């Protein structure tokens, strides 16, 4: 196929959209390590997990054998409202960089949550509805996940209780109002509505809260309220499964035009976007059918892959959740408050951690000023104002494309553009005003986080 026949944006037809999610664990020789019960250190059973999560989602969490899982019609209908997302050929960026590389990005920002989070939120809300639940609880920091879940619950007429880190609730009122538009109740955390919230408020009056505390409150409410369960927007196997829709669509769009990627790049916080994007390609690699270079990009200020340990750890700072084996900086690790670029989670999806440990993918860390430089450069030629998180992938894409310019290689690069930065303009403002600083934790900083790892092997 001739080069210029590839349009700026490849959209699949509705009937070309995936009807099944792909479960990469089915093709992994070394399966991700199981979640452990923190009390017994035994693998969590379906029954134990069912106290916190919906039954069908527990089944998906534990399913290591089925490579494909049907996407229910109701979820596919919802997907049709904002998917397929476009696979965009970055013609203007290529021209600006004067690179022989061919650059594509899968853009997940064209929905009100502003990111890929909605792909899993709608699935989790659906299964909650199917189980006859009244509602779900969750935590949110800046609010992308909370927004996505609010939209999904509104669609299925489910109650949605969001615990939002208090400092974000007060300083970022816009996302809070988006959630309220979709009918969610948004409670600043810590709050007086839970035992754990009351305890934290009594121990630390005036605290601005943390994600760990918000998780603990959301889990407490879910487990103590009849007809409620807790849902989580990243890290878990079930979330990566739902997010495989990103990679499946991307692959179908590439196949449609006979395009073979060489490098696939994604940003990585908890791993849901990266895991979803690379899944079907990784499947081909695992089955020995094709080879690809996969690059996970993380902030230098929160370097779980590049400087973390592969060990069992708590998923939350409140230590109420099961233990997961993952690349981690320790659940007590908190990136510098100067860090504005997102991807602040201390650990990484167990599935991706195993793939990384097996040498099947690479990881790089980048500093935030260079990330915002890349974001601005991208915005000016491609139009889209990217989220800081997504811009980590842009940074490494620019680096790779410029390498191709030096070597003359015509590599095909695909990266995940997970979302838009409309609610991140305070960070952009810092960057424009020259007030943004980089931060790299010292070995001593990291040692403190590692010291909090549980003694499990």
CA distance 165 to 212: 9
Min. distance of Cβ 162 from its own copies in angstroms? Answer: 15
Which span sits near its own copies by CB under 8 A: 36-44, 110-118, 210-218, 334-342?
Answer: 110-118
Q: Where are the alpha helices (DSSP H) in 287-358?
A: 304-307, 350-357
Choice between 8 and 51, CB closer to its own copies:
8
Which span sits near its own copies by CB under 8 A: 108-116, 229-237, 331-339, 405-413?
Answer: 108-116
Residue 31 interacts with its own copies (CB under 8 A): yes or no: no
Number of residues that bind its own copies (CB under 8 A): 46
Min. distance of Cβ 8 from its own copies in angstroms? Answer: 4
Q: Name the DSSP class of 14.
A: G
In this structure, how many other beta carbons lie within 10 angstroms of the beta carbon of residue 164? 28
CA distance 208 to 198: 14
Which span sits near its own copies by CB under 8 A: 64-72, 129-137, 221-229, 427-435?
Answer: 427-435
Residue 410 interacts with its own copies (CB under 8 A): yes or no: no
Residue 420 interacts with its own copies (CB under 8 A): yes or no: yes
Choice between 119 and 328, CB closer to its own copies:
119
Which span sits near its own copies by CB under 8 A: 9-17, 138-146, 256-264, 353-361?
Answer: 9-17
Q: Are 156 and 129 in contact (CB under 8 A)?
A: yes
Residue 249 interacts with its own copies (CB under 8 A): yes or no: no
- From 182, 230, 305, 314, residue interacting with its own copies (rule: CB under 8 A): 182
The pair of three-digit structure tokens given for residue 250, joined into one six-digit string: 């991307």
Q: Taking CB under 8 A as the rule, which mask of x and - marks residues 359-378 in contact with its own copies?
A: ----------------xx--
Residue 432 interacts with its own copies (CB under 8 A): yes or no: yes
* Residues 374-403 within binding reach of its own copies (CB under 8 A): 375-376, 379-385
Residue 180 interacts with its own copies (CB under 8 A): yes or no: yes
Q: Is 70 exposed, middle or buried (0-12, 13-18, 19+ CB in 10 A)?
A: exposed
Q: Are 234 and 349 in contact (CB under 8 A)?
A: yes
- From 177, 195, 409, 435, residue interacting with its own copies (rule: CB under 8 A): 177
- From 51, 81, 440, 447, residue interacting with its own copies (rule: CB under 8 A): 81
The angle subtended at Cα 168 by Cα 162 and Cα 170, nearest 5°, is 100
Q: Which residue is it, tokens 């449609």?
A: 256
* Residues 11-30 within binding reach of its own copies (CB under 8 A): 11, 13-14
Min. distance of Cβ 366 from its own copies in angstroms? Answer: 19
CA distances from 102 to 6, 364, 401 (A): 11, 21, 8
Choice between 155 and 163, CB closer to its own copies:
155
At what angle are helices 195-203 and 211-224 packed, to 10 degrees?
150
Min. distance of Cβ 203 from its own copies in angstroms? Answer: 32
Residue 94 interacts with its own copies (CB under 8 A): yes or no: no
Residues in the chain: 457
Min. distance of Cβ 82 from its own copies in angstroms? Answer: 6
**Nearest Cα to Cα of residue 175 among 203, 206, 154, 149:** 149
Choice between 134 and 380, CB closer to its own copies:
380
Residue 82 interacts with its own copies (CB under 8 A): yes or no: yes
Choice between 384 and 414, CB closer to its own copies:
384
Residue 257 interacts with its own copies (CB under 8 A): yes or no: no
* Residues 117-176 within binding reach of its own copies (CB under 8 A): 151, 154-155, 173-175
Residue 312 interacts with its own copies (CB under 8 A): yes or no: no
Residue 9 interacts with its own copies (CB under 8 A): yes or no: yes
Query: DSSP letters of 343-410?
Result: ---SS--HHHHHHHHTTSSEEEEE-HHHHHHHHHHHHHHH---B-HHHHHHHHHHHHHHHHHHHH---
Q: Is 251 exposed, middle or buried (0-12, 13-18, 19+ CB in 10 A)?
A: buried
Per-position b or e across 80-110, b if 16+ CB within 10 A of its CB = eebbbbbbbbbbebbebbebebbbbbbbbbe
In this structure, how many other beta carbons lie within 10 angstroms of the beta carbon of residue 159? 17
Half-sphere exposure of 449 (CA within 13 A, CB side): 28
Min. distance of Cβ 394 from its own copies in angstroms? Answer: 13
Binding site for its own copies (CB under 8 A): 7-9, 11, 13-14, 77, 80-82, 88, 91-92, 110-112, 114, 151, 154-155, 173-175, 177-178, 180-183, 375-376, 379-385, 420, 422-423, 425-426, 428-429, 432
């Amino acid at each position: 196929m001739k080069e210029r026949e590839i349009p700026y944006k490849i959209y699949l037809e509705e009937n070309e959209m995936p009807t099944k999610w792909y479960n990469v664990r089915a093709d992994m020789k070394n399966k991700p390590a199981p979640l452990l019960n923190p009390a017994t250190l035994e693998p969590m059973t379906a029954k134990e997990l069912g106290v916190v999560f919906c039954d069908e989602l527990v089944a998906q969490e534990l399913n290591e054998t089925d490579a494909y899982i049907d996407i229910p019609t109701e979820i596919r209908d919802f997907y049709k409202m904002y998917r397929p997302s476009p696979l965009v050929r970055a013609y203007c960026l290529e021209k600006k960089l004067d690179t022989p590389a061919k650059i594509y990005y899968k853009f997940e920002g064209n929905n009100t949550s502003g990111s890929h989070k909605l792909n899993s939120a709608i699935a989790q809300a659906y299964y909650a509805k199917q189980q006859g639940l009244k509602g779900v609880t969750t935590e949110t920091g800046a609010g992308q996940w909370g927004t996505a879940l609010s939209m999904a619950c509104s669609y299925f007429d489910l109650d949605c209780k969001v615990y939002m880190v208090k400092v974000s609730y007060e300083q970022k009122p816009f996302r809070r109002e988006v959630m309220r538009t979709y009918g969610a109740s948004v409670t600043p955390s810590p709050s007086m509505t839970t035992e754990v919230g009351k305890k934290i408020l009594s121990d630390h009056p005036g605290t601005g809260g943390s994600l760990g505390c918000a998780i603990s409150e959301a889990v407490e409410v879910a487990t103590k309220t009849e007809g409620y369960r807790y849902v989580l927007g990243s890290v878990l196997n079930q979330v990566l499964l739902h997010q495989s829709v990103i990679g499946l669509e991307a692959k179908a769009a590439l196949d449609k035009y006979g395009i073979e990627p060489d490098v696939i790049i994604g940003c990585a916080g908890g791993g849901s976007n990266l895991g979803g994007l690379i899944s079907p390609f990784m499947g081909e690699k695992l089955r020995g059918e094709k080879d690809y270079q996969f690059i996970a990009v993380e902030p230098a200020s929160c370097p779980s892959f590049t400087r973390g340990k592969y060990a069992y750890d708590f998923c939350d700072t409140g230590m109420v959740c099961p233990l997961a084996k993952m690349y981690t900086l320790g659940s007590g690790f908190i990136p510098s408050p100067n860090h504005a670029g997102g991807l602040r989670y201390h650990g990484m999806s167990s599935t991706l951690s195993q793939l990384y440990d097996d040498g099947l993918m690479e990881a790089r860390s980048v500093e935030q000023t260079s990330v915002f430089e890349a974001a601005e450069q991208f915005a000016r030629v491609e139009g889209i104002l990217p989220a800081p998180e997504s811009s980590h992938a842009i940074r490494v894409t620019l680096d790779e494309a410029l390498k191709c310019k030096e070597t003359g290689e015509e590599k095909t690069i695909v990266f995940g553009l997970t979302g838009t930065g409309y609610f991140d303009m305070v960070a952009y403002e810092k960057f424009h005003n020259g007030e943004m600083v980089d931060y790299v934790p010292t070995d001593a900083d990291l040692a403190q986080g590692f010291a909090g790892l549980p003694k499990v092997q």
